[in-house]
Amino acid sequence: MKVGLPQETIVDPLQTMIRVETRLQYANGYLELGMTKEAADELNAIEGDDLLERPDILKVRIKLYLESKKWNLMTRKAKKLAEIEPDNAFGWIYWAYALRERNRTEEAKAVAEKAIDVHPDDATLWFKPRMLLLTARRGGRRVSPPGQSR
């Protein structure tokens, strides 16, 4: 019996990228269908610590946490997104929204105001944070989060 060294597997970075992009597409599709468990499975299948903080992956995770109302996790991921990609309003808006859902209104207001300081010409940031903070509960009816309808 011949005993040899285990063969090393060479991973093509392009193939890894394709798999990540495909998993993100699957996760987004599952979220569109309201299938949060399946979306989470796809996101959890993405391996590599270097990938976990990629903005595109963070955005899908934030959407997942929004759908499943996991406000603590959404707060952390949206904050991270705002820190690593401050020029994108997405992280700021969802960070403020998650804080608001956790009844941390003053912190949510501070995040929204900081976002407006960073993006003074962004009409989205002038409207959405104020909508989220000032009209989140009006007449017993909850206002839908950005990009969502109820």
pLDDT tens figures, 104-149: 988 988 898 888 888 777 777 766 655 555 544 433 344 444 555 5
Closest CA to 96 of 85, 104, 88, 86: 104
What's the predicted TM-score (pTM) here? 0.73
> Residue 65's pLDDT band (boundaries 50, 70, 90)?
very high
The CA-based diameter of the chain, rounded to the nearest angstrom, is: 79
> Residue 55's pLDDT band (boundaries 50, 70, 90)?
very high
**Domain range for 27:** 14-138
Q: What is the CATH number of the domain that holds 82?
A: 1.25.40.10
Distance of CA 137 to the CA centre of its chain: 23
Range ranked top by mean pLDDT from 6-15, 50-59, 127-136: 50-59
pLDDT of residue 91: 93
Check if the beta carbon of residue 111 is closer than 8 Å to that of residue 92: yes
Is 123 domain-assigned? Answer: yes
pLDDT of residue 137: 41
Check if the beta carbon of residue 115 is closer than 8 Å to that of residue 128: no
Range list of β-strands (E), the chain = 137-138, 141-142
pLDDT of residue 140: 35
Is 146 domain-assigned? Answer: no
Is 8 domain-assigned? Answer: no
How many domains are there within the chain?
1
Is 4 domain-assigned? Answer: no
Is 1 domain-assigned? Answer: no
Is 150 domain-assigned? Answer: no
Of residues 50 and 51, the one with the higher pLDDT is: 51
* Listed range (13-17, 30-34, 140-144) with the worst mean pLDDT: 140-144
